[in-house]
Amino acid sequence: MSLLYTFFGWLTRILFGFFGNYGMAIIMLTIIIRAALIPLNITSQKSMIKMQALSGKTAEIQRKYPDDKQKQQEEIMKLQQENGAMGFSGCILPFIQIFLIWPIYRIVSGPLIYLSQVSKENVQNMIELANSEGLVASKRLTAELHIPLIEILNNNSDFLSECIKKGYISMGQLLDLHFLGMDLTKTPAWNPVTIISDPKTYLPLLLFPILVILTNIFSMRMATWLKPGYKEQQEAKKREKMNPARQGQTPTDQAEMTTKMMTWMMPILMLFTTFTLPAAMGLYWVVGGLMGILTQVLTYFMFTKPYEQKKLEMEAKKAAAFKKDHSQDEGKSGKKNKKKK
């Protein structure tokens, strides 16, 4: 895991050096991460399309074994394996996104180490010095989580001078961590008392949790609307409601319950981290949400829409062939009746 922290820290430093702005570095880091996940998005979408194409056979299995759920699952798993449509592929992405929280968390919680390249030993020395002078109130202050130390360095010139004299830090290692006038080292506050105490700082930061919720709700809805076979599923559910005898016949994803759980877990996790970590984490979630929406639209037009159009064309051809065969049968029967007369 430490190698991952080091790599993400190096990448963020490169981006910070190029753009000269902490917010832009976080934005570009998020875009790079989400772009790297696009192949997994494509794989997941292809798997969903294959599963949709197998929905008819899945329904047959469910009708064949109505009272044996275990046998249903075994046969459906076998069918999916044979056709390269594994149901768990749609669950991989959320788990990877959760895993990638940790390196981002390290970077936004410890910018002196990962951006300014101050050694952990010197950060710890500054923390001990601040503790000895009674400047640190936070018990959670560590070398990895040292945001309050940055505030002390920025606001206490005597302490900063002492740290520079001792060789713990140089002036060039104190970076501007603002974005559009917002301090990305500050944590957004939900408590009205905290917000009122410093509205200039905390009111703008509320933009991050609001945008996190909005982008994720919209992303969830988009994922549902652009899902292969969404219209057919909705129509099947309506038929089930109108006809109780049809209940339980609608094909279901093997990973549907897991996907739903992850779908609701992620926004809750995002909102929690937005209100408990520096605002840079909220910026990461917002840009990640926008990238997720863009990826969904791209995969829809690249794979889902062509599949659905091809499906409609095949259904139209089948209907035309059936109509032709039916009219020919009627013609033959008509001729036979004439002969009999």
Q: Look up residue 259 and give its amino acid.
A: T
Phi, psi for 180 (deg, rounded to 5): 55, 40
Nearest of 213, 215, 195, 196 to residue 205 by alpha carbon: 195
Show Cβ contacts of residue 208 under 8 Å, excluding neighbours closer than 6 positions: 188, 274, 279, 282, 283, 285, 286
HEC readout, the chain: CHHHHHHHHHHHHHHHHHHCCHHHHHHHHHHHHHHHCHHHHHHHHHHHHHHHHCHHHHHHHHHHCCCCHHHHHHHHHHHHHHCCCCCCHHHHHHHHHHHCHHHHHHHHHCHHHHCCCCCHHHHHHHHHHHHHCCCCCCCCCCCCCCHHHHHHHHHCHHHHHHHHHCCCCCHHHCCCCEECCEECCCCCCCCHHHHHHCHHHHHHHCHHHHHHHHHHHHHHHHHHHCCCCHHHHHHHHHHHHHCHHHCCCCCCCCCHHHHHHHHHHHHHHHHHHHHHCCHHHHHHHHHHHHHHHHHHHHHHHHHHHHHHHHHHHHHHHHHHHHHHHHHHHHHHHHHHHHHHC
Q: Is the pTM of this model over 0.75?
A: yes
Partners of 183 in the β-ladder: 178
Nearest of 208, 185, 177 to residue 275 by alpha carbon: 208
pLDDT tens, position by position, for the chain (341 residues)? 678 888 999 999 999 999 999 999 999 999 999 999 888 877 777 777 766 666 667 777 777 777 777 777 777 777 766 666 555 555 677 778 778 888 999 999 999 999 999 999 999 999 999 988 888 766 567 777 888 899 899 989 999 999 999 999 999 999 999 999 999 999 999 999 999 999 999 999 999 999 999 998 888 888 777 776 666 666 666 666 666 555 544 444 444 555 566 667 777 888 888 999 999 999 999 999 999 899 888 888 887 788 777 777 777 777 777 676 666 655 556 555 555 55
| C-beta of residue 76 within 8 angstroms of C-beta of residue 64 | no
Distance of alpha carbon 323 from its chain centroid, rounded?
A: 47
Domain residue ranges of the chain, discontinuous segments joined by +: 2-115+175-317
Specify the pLDDT at position 253: 47
Nearest of 163, 263, 284 to residue 216 by alpha carbon: 263
